[in-house]
A and B are shown apart, each in its own frame.
Chain A
């Protein structure tokens, strides 16, 4: 295990759902790439996605040859009575030379810190550690070196928190946006029986149906209508919290519009807040997305590192619903 080499400015942590996407992320300037094994141990357990052990070994070799680090997300919660799948994932990540593992479960953190004390541990956003005390618990108990902050904090709160804890902080900068506190949401399992925490999926495609009724397109998840689109209206995927519902006799995107997070305009603020790393969401996304988003953010963090602003890049065509928000980072969002 080598020491974690600090980059000038913000470190860029980029997603990869396949070895090809991993190469794209590295070519586009990623400092770190995070990925997961092809099973329920990570929060993007989608068909056709993720890495076999061989693929991870080869990918780590490639990444290290380019001075890029590989982080392995093992960030779902082990099923009661079945710890082996998760423990093996940690053992294999260590054996294959991963630079860090990203964990959420307390039992698994205990396992990793006992069995592989030299393997760097990052606390996943799925652990939803939103205060200095919660973070302090994970530092003292398991020696975590970095915490991925849940998307519930404003930039000012992030600044105060980062100053208070003796650990690196990482924040989401771009991509899909959970509007609920991550890791503390059972909406998907209420409608489908499959949850992000246990199964690594949210609003899974296996439970999605579209039907046409009186000219309108209806998107359903399990037994529930998530949205209804008038003829000609752009129809999106029925992610539960981005659906249209009726409250007080008024239909609206009650929880959140079908929008994506972009903190591109806040990079200098995040750097000033003492944040160590920016994370880009999207292990399920294709190479075009990865290349374009990673390149734009690498330029932006490099510029911010020398006190400059990078030229604006239009990423809106790559976002869900083709619209962007700074989400919880701005207080008015609440």
Chain B
């Protein structure tokens, strides 16, 4: 019998104020049935100072609750001071998730994980990085089930798939949140804080399409891979990533936990998850090898 599927709560990708973030992690520590929590600012270095003083106590609290804690590294670096912060993080005693190749330079020879902002598309690249110390990977969100299966077959490597939350699609040095408010990145006044799930971007036909989160562009649709749970297991995926949103993440992680424990079937859980999100549709097209925005019925045949 294989091990039960584990759950990782991904980093909070949005700019939540420190109080909200602290409350969030308290509740996660006490109530969310997740195995691992990734903390830290991975999208915009301007946001990082706000929560930094709270980070050690949050980590301690999560660890006391029995969670494995990983600190995520910044995903796009352009400035010298960002490099300094990255080096400091990689020199710390924390387990680090690398989200940029710069982090790989510092993490060589120590155990670390590979985040979805690194371009790992195939087994040759994954084996190379494993041989330098990587132990786990959450690959780019656009990978299909076949690609995921190939990566999952790499020995001594744990694979984790983005299974809930908006898909991170792109990074830029330009801040589109600021631009939508006729500001620039330097004069942003942290306007991204107004949209704790991202700023909705519609087509000119008023069809919801994308969500802007500072320098990051995300999908409007939320990933929901619950219906694909059995297929994921079959392909060797025993860890799923849930990306935090303002929806009740305890309820979300509980649904995934119940499916993993066999307490509820994946299709009814998937329907309940879709209901839980409410304000946006769900999608799993990337996993099924088609456009990411598509929602495809599970092809798993028991």
**Nearest CB in chain B: distance from A73 CB, A:** 16
A254 to B120, CA, bound (A): 29
A181 and B119 form a contact (CB under 8 A): no
Does B172 have its Cβ within 8 Å of any Cβ on chain A? Answer: yes
Q: Which of A29-37, A92-100, A166-174, A222-230 contacts B (4 or more CB under 8 A)?
A: A222-230
Best-surrounded residue of A80, A189, A197 (most CB of chain B within 10 A):
A80
Q: A110 in the interface, Cβ–Cβ < 8 Å?
A: yes
Of B83, B105, B128, which is in contact with the most chain A CB atoms at under 10 Å from its CB?
B105
Please, which residues of chain B bring their CB within 8 A of the CB of A198?
121, 142
Residue of A with least CB distance to B101:
A134
**Contact assessment for B76 and A105 in the assembled complex, using a CB-CB cutoff below 8 Å:** no
Residues of A120-135 contacting chain B, CB below 8 A: 126-134
Which A residues touch B290, using CB under 8 A?
193
Q: Say whether A225 contacts B205, CB under 8 Å.
A: yes
Question: With the chains together, A228 CA to B181 CA distance in Å?
Answer: 22
Instruction: Judge if A115 is at the interface, Cβ distance under 8 Å.
Output: no
User: Is the C-beta of A66 less than 8 angstroms from some C-beta in chain B?
Assistant: no
Decide: A78 and B122 in contact? CB cutoff 8 A.
yes
Verify B169–A190 contact, CB threshold 8 A.
Answer: yes
**Contact between B210 and A185, CB atoms less than 8 A apart:** no
User: Contact at A184–B76, with CB atoms within 8 Å?
Assistant: yes
The reply to whether B172 and A81 form a contact with Cβ atoms under 8 Å apart is: no
Which of B20-28, B195-203, B224-232 binds A? Answer: B195-203
B140 touches A251 (CB 8 A): no
Q: Tell me the B142-163 residues at the A interface (CB within 8 Å).
A: 142-143, 146-148, 150-151
Indicate whether A79 reaches chain B with its CB closer than 8 angstroms.
yes
Say whether B101 contacts A129, CB under 8 Å.
yes
The answer on a CB contact under 8 Å between A248 and B124 is: no
Asked whether B16 is an interface residue with its Cβ less than 8 Å from the other chain, the reply is no
The reply to whether A133 and B86 form a contact with Cβ atoms under 8 Å apart is yes
Q: Is the pair B176, A254 in contact by a Cβ cutoff of 8 Å? A: yes
B88 interface hit (Cβ, 8 Å): no
Q: Are A138 and B101 in contact (CB under 8 A)?
A: yes
Q: Are B150 and A190 in contact (CB under 8 A)?
A: no
Given contact pairs A138-B101, A225-B207, A105 touches B180 in the complex (Cβ within 8 A): no
Q: Which residues 129-174 of A have a CB within 8 angstroms of B?
A: 129-134, 136-138, 140, 152-153, 157, 160
| A273 in the interface (beta carbon within 8 A) | no
Interface-facing stretch out of A44-52, A56-64, A239-247, A281-289? A239-247
B26-43 Cβ-contact flags toward A at 8 Å (1 or 0)? 000000000000000000
In this complex, how many residues of chain B approach chain A with their Cβ under 8 Å: the count is 74
Nearest residue in B to A139 (C-beta to C-beta)? B105
Chain B residues, CB < 8 A from A193: 285, 289-292, 294
Minimum CB distance partner of A140 in chain B: B105
A271 at the interface (CB under 8 A from B): no
B95 at the interface (CB under 8 A from A): no
Contact A130–B169 (Cβ < 8 Å): no
Contact A180-B119, Cβ < 8 Å, known A254-B176, A334-B185: no
B219 at the interface (CB under 8 A from A): yes
The yes or no answer to A235 lying at the interface (CB within 8 A) is no
Interface presence of A328 (CB below 8 A):
yes
Which B residues, 94 to 138, have Cβ-Cβ distances below 8 Å to chain A?
100-102, 104-106, 117, 119-129
In the complex, are the beta carbons of A186 and B141 less than 8 A apart? Answer: yes
Contact assessment for A245 and B204 in the assembled complex, using a CB-CB cutoff below 8 Å: yes
Whether the pair B203, A245 counts as a contact (CB closer than 8 A) is yes
**A181 touching B76 by the CB < 8 A rule?**
yes
Is B174 touching A181 in the complex (CB atoms < 8 A)?
A: no
| B64 CB within 8 Å of chain A | no
A111 proximal to B (CB < 8 A) = yes
Check B122 against A225 for contact (C-beta < 8 Å). no
Asked if A183 is at the interface of the complex by the 8 Å CB criterion, the answer is yes
Per-residue 0/1 for A295-334: is the Cβ within 8 Å of any B Cβ (1 yes, 0 no)?
Answer: 0000000000000000000000000000000001001111
CA distance A247 to B126 in the complex (A): 38
For window 262-304 of A, CB contacts with B under 8 Å fall at: none
- In this complex, which of B123, B146, B173 has the most chain A Cβ atoms within 10 angstroms of its Cβ? B173
Whether a CB of chain A sits under 8 angstroms from the CB of B4 is: no
The interface residues of chain B lying within 8 Å CB-to-CB of A250 are 180
Residues in B with CB closer than 8 Å to A68 are: none
30 A–B contact pairs at CB < 8 A? A77-B121, A78-B121, A83-B123, A105-B122, A105-B125, A110-B124, A128-B76, A134-B102, A137-B104, A152-B76, A184-B171, A186-B292, A190-B167, A190-B219, A191-B293, A193-B289, A193-B290, A193-B291, A225-B203, A227-B204, A245-B203, A245-B210, A246-B201, A247-B180, A247-B200, A251-B204, A254-B180, A255-B174, A328-B174, A334-B175
The 9 closest A-B pairs by CB, nearest first: A107-B124, A152-B173, A77-B121, A133-B102, A80-B150, A107-B125, A80-B147, A190-B292, A334-B185
Which residues from chain B sit less than 8 Å from chain A, CB to CB? 75-80, 82-83, 86-87, 100-102, 104-106, 117, 119-129, 140-143, 146-148, 150-151, 167, 169-176, 179-181, 184-186, 199-207, 209-210, 212, 217, 219, 285-286, 289-294
